[in-house]
Amino acid sequence: MIAMETPTKHKELISWVQDMEKMCRPDKVVWINGSLEEKKRLEDEACGTGELIKLDEKKLPGCFFHRSNPNDVARTESLTFICTKNKEDAGPTNNWMAPQEAYERAADIFGGAMKGRTMYVIPFSMGPVGSKLSKIGVEITDSIYVVLNMRIMTRIGDAVLKVLGENGSFTKCLHSKADLDIKKRLILHFPEDNTIWSVGSGYGGNALLGKKCLALRIASWLGKTEGWMAEHMLILGIDRPGKETKYITAAFPSACGKTNLAMMIPPEGYKAKGYRVWTVGDDISWLKIGSDGTLRAINPEAGYFGVIPGTNSKSNPNAVATIKKNTIFTNAALTPDNTVWWEGSDDPAPPKAIDWSGNEWHPGMVDDRGVSVKAAHPNSRFTAPASQCPCVSPKWEDPEGVPISAILFGGRRANVMPLVFETLSWNHGVFTASTVGSEKTAAQEGVVGEIRRDPMAMLPFCGYNMGDYFQHWINMGKKIPKLPKIFHVNWFRTDDHGKFMWPGFGDNMRVLDWILDRCEGKVDAIQTPVGFVPKASDINSEGLTLAPGTIEKLVSVNQAEWREEQKDQEKFFKTFGDRFPKELWDEYDGLKKRLG
Ligand code: SAT
Ligand code: MN
């Protein structure tokens, strides 16, 4: 074992690292300091072993390619556990394991797992280093890929240790790839110990422990205890002519275009008038009450871990610009000229490539069943620094956070849900958010068209009983002096022929414009049983080619459909038993009465 000087005097941290070293038995321990020299050394080492491939320096400067084990390309929710003393504290929507059993089972896998490897110790900050709204974690890992991703996604190194001092509190994050055996994979959260243990996977959400594990599951627990909120929300700023920048957050289940909305470019007519969107964050937001009484949001992350396929200069020009340099591409296709390609890219398919799983690929290829073979994995990802985004907000690292005027929730719904409605009150907003869902697509298990409820888009990410989580939302509403308004949006309503009625993407600015007008009390609305919907004439359709009456249809509320919707909501609410807040049943009953 090579002894290395420990760059901290934090006793608890030192002794935890020693304990983990004893269990995992690495050849050496390296404390990550965050320097450029260190980055270069790790990149060279990873390229030497094939863990990373350096991409063409002229076309993609500073970029690398990584292929993960084909059995390890997405989060594994079935192997993800909340390990609280009492099972009820994890609630009906989480997998639960008793802490002692969890530690023992994982210790068996971690035991000696780092033999022949280096154990890296990464001090990291979620949120700007030193901000009152930030939290510190330390991730131990045996993966250089993880170190280099954490370097982009969080703030790492000596600056963080300095803030941590000799007694600061931190989340203990232990990770090992072990042998990437799915039968020995566990993603364990111990909120009562402020600890995460993840073993057997190298994939993003399973292995970059700052992201979903800390910034959502552990942070949601800390938030409940400390009086703030950790949410699966993008944060964006909107400039409107002659007005100060307003900020909103938005939560959507996956596959609803969150990153695209966060980096949206308004339509031409709006741009010409001076409208502009600024990205504060694309995935996670931490919300705390500011000294000015507003709800303030920070993005705890420092980079984007975005889905690659479908990213092009139409769907998201800002993302395209962001990933031109210093980016890690995971599980895309590798082209003969040493760049990357994916389905839905700006470039035509190369004549041949190596696909995400390492096999030769050419356009038009089909498998034995005649199904077309994808070059890039559908969940292939880019990891890129937020600072490279052309529309990154000047306030994205403001330690005070940005004041939130409106919170948006939405899902992918072919019918029932109007394009937009404003909820009637905070509690009614919480109720609406708790019913968020998307229709199942052919790509998911279950019946196509059935609603998969995903309250607040937090179902896989809430670190405790969701009944208590809803109660926490209700309680926060009583404490925030300047409450944001809560809206529900649906970009995916279809017509009788199953075609999307709303163009989406940049044109969603037209809806955001109405939302901000509502926040400023500048525009009337129509009160319906489900909330306030826009008058069709208040949604600016200049420059759109919509059939007459489309906006009226988009904002219409069909009471019969809503009565059906409520039956399904009731079934869902009942799964939470006693822990489901009375306030939300009251809202449910109120809606039922209004629907008649
Ligand atoms: O896998 S991650 O959790 O990092 C990304 C995602 O699934 O949203
Ligand atoms: Mn996400």
CA distance 512 to 113: 50
Name the closest-CA residue to atom 1, ligand 1: 205
pLDDT value of position 260: 93
Strand boundaries in 240-323, DSSP class E: 246-251, 276-281, 285-289, 295-298, 303-307
| Ranges in the chain annotated CATH 3.90.228.20 | 231-302+394-595
Helix ranges (DSSP H) in 144-218: 144-153, 158-164, 204-207
Name the closest-CA residue to atom 4, ligand 1: 205
Q: Which ligand 1 atom is the nearest neighbour of the CA of 212?
A: 3
- Give pLDDT tens digits for 169-200: 999 999 999 999 999 999 999 999 999 999 99
- Catalytic residues, which ones? 256
CA distance 63 to 65: 7
pLDDT value of position 1: 47
pLDDT value of position 5: 82
Cβ pair 38, 147 in contact under 8 A: no
pTM for this model (two decimals): 0.97
- Give pLDDT tens digits for 296-337: 999 999 999 999 999 999 999 999 999 999 999 999 999 999
Within a 10 A sphere around the Cβ of 228, how many other Cβ atoms?
A: 21
Least confident of 253-257, 279-283, 483-487, 501-505: 253-257
CA distance 355 to 376: 6
User: What fold characterizes domain 231-302+394-595?
Assistant: Phosphoenolpyruvate Carboxykinase; domain 3 (3.90.228)
Q: What is the mean pLDDT of residues 436-463?
A: 87
- Give pLDDT tens digits for 112-164: 999 999 999 999 999 999 999 999 999 999 999 999 999 999 999 999 999 99
| Ranges in the chain annotated CATH 3.40.449.10 | 2-50+76-226
Q: Which ligand 1 atom is the nearest neighbour of the CA of 75?
A: 1
Output the six-digit token pair for 243.
Answer: 């007005």
* Residue of 68, 72, 73, 75 with the most ligand 1 atoms within 8 Å of its CB, for mutation: 75
- Give pLDDT tens digits for 67-98: 999 999 999 999 999 999 999 999 999 999 99
Higher pLDDT, 21 or 1: 21
Lining ligand 1 with CB less than 6 A are 75, 204-205, 211-212, 254, 305
Whole-number percent of the chain with pLDDT over 70: 98
* Residue of 175, 208, 212, 259 with the most ligand 1 atoms within 8 Å of its CB, for mutation: 212
pLDDT value of position 404: 98
pLDDT value of position 445: 67
- Give pLDDT tens digits for 207-250: 999 999 999 999 999 999 999 999 999 999 999 999 999 999 99
User: What fold characterizes domain 2-50+76-226?
Assistant: Phosphoenolpyruvate Carboxykinase; domain 1 (3.40.449)
Q: How far is the CA of 49 from the centre of ligand 2 (A)?
A: 31
Q: Which ligand 1 atom is the nearest neighbour of the CA of 74?
A: 1
Does the structure show a pLDDT above 80 at 448?
A: no
Reference 430, options 491, 494, 480, 502; nearest CA is 480
pLDDT value of position 40: 98
The mean of the pLDDT values for the chain is 96
Least confident of 2-11, 34-43, 339-348: 2-11
Residue 442: band (very low, low, confident or very high) from pLDDT cuts 50, 70, 90? low
Residue 3: band (very low, low, confident or very high) from pLDDT cuts 50, 70, 90? low
Reference 236, options 283, 265, 295, 279; nearest CA is 279
pLDDT value of position 440: 79
- Give pLDDT tens digits for 351-384: 999 999 999 999 999 999 999 999 999 999 999 9
